[in-house]
Copies of this chain bind each other. A is one copy, B any other.
Amino acid sequence: MRRIKCTLAYDGSGFFGFQIQPDKRTVAGELEKSLQKMHKGQTIRIHGSGRTDTGVHAKGQVIHFDSPLQLPAENWKKALNALLPEDIYITKVENVTDAFHARFDAIAKEYHYFVRTAPEWDVFSRNYTYHFPHALDVDKIKEACTYFEGTHDFTTFSSVKTSVKGNKVRTLYTVTCETKESGLRFIFHGDGFLYNMVRIITGFLLDVGQGKWEPEEIPGLIAAKDRSKIGKTIGPEGLYLMRVIYE
């Protein structure tokens, strides 16, 4: 058996998330279906770096699997892309040792969240950016971003429905907000992310931009460890898993 590492992109709008679910179209389900075709009906289990929710996109998700087939990396890429549906695309294939694990070896991840602030609805970006047509104080948002950087217990800024028991301490290396032509791009780079964490923090940052919170209130909110203190989780359409970083 040889271990294969794949980097992939997918348009999350047509999937019930990454993880396999019976009778639902999922990214992992489609990947395993295509691998099964390549292996004459044999089931090949894939392991992702982590899940993404319904509607969340990826430009740099990473998976691994084991296969008895011996193919050069470029042939794996061509063969898999020929079998996969058009909303999943393998961008890179690498032969790795048995020691590699897509989830356990990931040391950091990068997520982007796109917000469109233009007043009118845009039918073409509705599945790809979050529409928030409101005036925002971007300087205040940028100041607020810095309060999230560092090592914190993110209980207040993650879903209570999390599957993670216990430790909710994570380190965000950088949290930045860039002004784009049609809105804002938020960039999160950290060692790990709790359930809905990027969507909850970004939603909160938009509230800061509207003057509902002051940046200085963030340390107190983090210390409170109480999800109910802040606003709702914003939509999945603006969220992209951009990169999974390994040693």
Size range of the chain A interface in the assembly: 10 to 19
The answer on a CB contact under 8 Å between B121 and A89 is yes
In the complex the two chains form, what is the Cα distance from A81 to B86 in whole Å?
30
A121–B57 contact, CB under 8 A? Answer: no
A88 to B10, CA, bound (A): 24
Q: Is the CB of B9 within 8 A of A86?
A: no
A residues 75-116 touching B (CB-CB < 8 Å): 81, 86-89, 91
- Tell me the bound Cα distance from A9 to B87 in angstroms: 23
In the assembled complex, which residues on chain B have CB atoms less than 8 Å from the CB atom of A126? 11, 86-87
Cα distance, A163 to B9, chains bound together (Å): 41
Question: Chain A 44-78, CB within 8 Å of chain B: the 1/0 string?
Answer: 00000000000001000000000000000000000
Q: With an 8 A cutoff between CB atoms, is A130 at the interface?
A: no
Interface residues of A (CB under 8 A from B): 9-11, 57, 81, 86-89, 91, 120-124, 126, 128
- In the bound complex, residues from chain B placing their C-beta under 8 Å from that of A128 are 124
Which residues of chain B are near A123, meaning CB under 8 Å?
A: 9-11, 86-89
Query: A11 → chain B, closest Cβ, in Å?
Result: 4
Complex: how many Å from CA A224 to CA B43? 56
Tell me, rounded to whole Å, the shortest Cβ–Cβ distance linking A154 to chain B. 29
In the complex, how many angstroms separate the beta carbon of A12 from the nearest chain B beta carbon? 9
A121-B81 CB under 8 A given contacts A87-B126, A126-B86? yes
